[in-house]
Amino acid sequence: MNLQRFLLVGAVLSLVFIQGCGDEIIAIDPCAEQTAVTAKFTIYENVSDSLFASDTVLQYNTIVFKADENYDTYEWRVGQDARVFTTKAVTLHFQQPVGRIEVTLKVTRKPNLSCFPEDDGTDITTKPLTVIDWRNSLVIGEYTGSNKSNPQAHFDVSMKRTLDIDSFPIYELLNINQGCFRTNLWSGEVGRGAKAFRFSDYVWYGDGCKGVECWITLLAGDSVRIDYSYGDNSKPFTPSGYPRIRDVYLGKRKN
């Protein structure tokens, strides 16, 4: 009997039988929750103070490539970069909108041969990543939807971008708290990402805007989620500002 066959037989014979109530016998497979060595990783884009998993990122942003599990060794290869990175997580910045590239992770770990006799302890996974111009967030567009607090009342929200005389972007978020048409912020005051965006405008309470702060996240199927809050200036002002009203807007892209 060769070694592999011996191990397979051993794995089968290692099933533990437990006497249950009455004559019931429950078989427990010791390999049921085990897995072969598989390279798994996630690509994150840093937006403001948070990391978002994404397959598309903006140039200049901090991008984190992180293995989902612990392995004995790591080998990362990113696009045309000649370097090989050997840590669990790798942080990079792309200085150019290079478009679509491939990210490959090769890992090794001592395999569980009792459960996976064919496992050589090595695996490789490749994922695509698209790097786009830092001014061209995919979040830009017009959406129709409603708040979780009142799902029957539909209204439109717009995320717009214009360029100033120096081609520097100015972003506007319009109508998130229905009636606010002044939440336009210079890009230095927001967190920009390919599929996530942060606005913060606590100081402005004119034109119905009420100090909006929000996170915009692009979801699958061109849907959007906006977690936002604004100041309730019908209440007394406190040392920390007006009390905040919080809501979640869920919408679909119109264009």
What are 191-211's pLDDT values in tens digits?
889 999 988 765 555 555 667
Right CATH for 41-132 from 2.60.40.10, 2.170.190.11, 3.40.50.720, 1.10.1520.10: 2.60.40.10
Cα–Cα nearest to 133, from 65, 187, 214: 187
Residue 63: CB partners within 8 Å, gap ≥ 6? 43, 44, 45, 46, 57, 91, 92, 93, 94, 129
pLDDT score, position 209 = 60
What are 94-133's pLDDT values in tens digits?
999 999 999 999 999 999 999 999 999 999 999 999 999 9
Instruction: Confirm whether 41-132 and 141-253 share one CATH topology.
Output: no
Task: Show the tokens assigned to 102.
Answer: 């491939």
pLDDT grade for 165, boundaries at 50, 70 and 90: confident
Cα–Cα nearest to 94, from 74, 64, 49, 50: 64
The domain limits of the chain are: 1-33, 41-132, 141-253
Rounded average pLDDT over 60-72: 97
Contact of 129 with 55, CB cutoff 8 Å: yes
Return the percentage of the chain with pLDDT > 90, whole number: 55
pLDDT score, position 182 = 52
Rounded average pLDDT over 159-171: 83
- Average confidence score pLDDT of the chain: 83
pLDDT grade for 10, boundaries at 50, 70 and 90: very low
Pair type for strands 56-58 and 122-132: parallel
Q: How far apart are CA 204 and CA 219, in angstroms?
A: 29
pLDDT at 141 over 60: yes
Contact of 210 with 180, CB cutoff 8 Å: yes
Rounded average pLDDT over 137-154: 94
Which of these ranges, 21-25, 48-52, 166-170, has the smallest mean pLDDT? 21-25
Residue with tokens 């984190």: 64
CATH class as words, domain 141-253: mainly beta
Task: Show the tokens assigned to 136.
Answer: 């061209």
pLDDT grade for 61, boundaries at 50, 70 and 90: very high
Task: Show the tokens assigned to 50.
Answer: 């948070």
Helices assigned H by DSSP within 37-119:
none
Burial status of residue 47 (CB atoms within 10 A of its CB: 0-12, 13-18, 19 or more): buried
Return the percentage of the chain with pLDDT > 70, whole number: 82
pLDDT at 18 over 60: no
What are 206-230's pLDDT values in tens digits?
555 667 788 999 998 889 999 988 8
pLDDT at 5 over 50: no
HSE (CB half, 13 Å, CA atoms) of 46? 14
pLDDT at 7 over 80: no
What are 86-105's pLDDT values in tens digits?
999 999 999 999 999 999 99
pTM for the model: 0.80
Amino acid, res. 111: P
**Between 181 and 183, residue with greater pLDDT:** 181
